Amino acid sequence: MVMEDWVMKLKAWAGKWPEQAVPYFVSAWGLNRGFASRAAMLYLACWAAGLNPRVTSGFRDPKKQAAMRAAWDRGDRAGLIVRPADPSKSKHCSTSITGAPDALAIDMQCKDNELAARIGKALGLRAGLYFTTPDPGHFDAG
Ligand SMILES: [Zn+2]
């Protein structure tokens, strides 16, 4: 079975669920509406694959991100897997024109982050696992 085939079947099976989940991903995780629908599809696909997806981060306040980066640099790395990205470049820190959270990235840890990355890529998302400095569980709009 080619990738596109299972993605189409997945989307048919998912029906309206990803769209219905958008308000949750927007309000609970500060995601951009368009990206929220894609993140919801990824969540559902990982759940269906038995990967027990767990969302750990969506929008991050640029000031908090800068503080996390500074903490990493001074060796305080509790709870961090990789050095947080520059807030001006991180898709976790995107805001709307009014300054509201509008993240284009989500961190979703799965029982198998390798398989989750393959699923995310097939769904058109950029998977952090494939970054030069791998960031397992990170997915963004690319
Ligand atoms: Zn991330």
CB 142, CB 125: distance < 8 Å: yes
Q: How confident is the model at residue 3 (pLDDT cuts 50, 70, 90)?
A: low
Residue-range definition of the domain harbouring residue 40 = 3-140
Distance 99 CA to ligand 1 centre (A): 20
How far does residue 16's CA lie from ligand 1's centre (Å)? 26
- Could you give the CA distance from residue 44 to residue 102 in angstroms, rounded to a whole number? 21
Select from 131, 100, 90, 107 the least CA-distant residue to 39. 107
State pTM to two decimals: 0.89
- CATH number, domain at 106? 3.30.1380.10
Q: What is the CA(11)–ligand 1 centre distance, in A? A: 24
CA of 77 to the centre of ligand 1 (A): 15
Using one digit for the tens of pLDDT, what is the confidence trace for 36-92?
Answer: 999 999 999 999 999 999 999 999 999 989 999 999 999 999 988 888 889 999 999
> How far, in Å, is the centroid of ligand 1 from the Cα of 71?
17
**Cα of 60 from ligand 1 centre, angstroms:** 10
Number of domains in the chain: 1
Contact of 18 with 41, CB cutoff 8 Å: yes
What is the reported pLDDT for 48?
95
Q: Both tokens of residue 120?
A: 């995310």
